[in-house]
Amino acid sequence: MPEATTRDPIADLPAELTSRLNGELGGEDVIAWSEFDLDPANKVRQSFVVLTRNRLIHVEDGQKQSTPVEQIKNAKIAEGLGMDRLVVTTDAGTRDYRYSRRFRRDAVRLHRHLARMLPDKEGKPKDERPDWLERIEREAEAQLKCPKCGHIIPSYADRVCPRCSQSRTILWRLLDVAKDYRFMLLSALVLTFLQSGFTAMTGVVNRHLIDDGIIGSHAGVVLATSDRLSNLAFWAGAFALVIIFSEVIGGGRAAILTVVGTSVTRDLRHSVYAHLQQLSLRFFAKRRTGSLITRVTNDTDRL
Higher pLDDT, 114 or 124: 114
* 22-72 tens-digit pLDDT: 666 766 778 888 889 998 888 898 899 988 888 898 888 778 888 888 888
**Strand-pair category, 83-90 with 93-100:** antiparallel
- Is a pLDDT exceeding 50 seen at residue 199? yes
Cα–Cα nearest to 58, from 98, 91, 8: 98
Instruction: State residue 297's pLDDT score.
Output: 83
**How confident is the model at residue 39, as a pLDDT?**
87
At residue 10, the pLDDT reads 42
- Which string of DSSP letters, residue by residue, matches 172-240? HHHHHHTGGGHHHHHHHHHHHHHHHHHHHHHHHHHHHIIIIIII-EETTEEPPHHHHHHHHHHHHHHHH
Which residues does 151 contact at the CB level (< 8 Å), separation at least 6?
A: 14, 145, 161, 163
How many whole angstroms from its chain centre is CA 31? 28
Domains identified in the chain and CATH numbers: 9-163 (2.30.29.30), 173-302 (1.20.1560.10)
Top-confidence range, 79-93, 121-135, 158-172: 79-93
Residue-level pLDDT at 156 = 57
Mean pLDDT score, 15-24: 70
Cα distance between residue 111 and residue 178, in whole Å: 43
pLDDT of residue 251: 92
Q: Tell me the pLDDT tens digit for each residue of 123-166.
A: 555 555 556 666 666 666 666 667 777 666 665 566 667 666 66
Q: Please tell me the distance from the alpha carbon of residue 115 to that of residue 277, in angstroms, as a whole number.
A: 30
The secondary structure of residue 28, as a DSSP letter, is P
Helices H / strands E in the chain, number of each: 9, 9
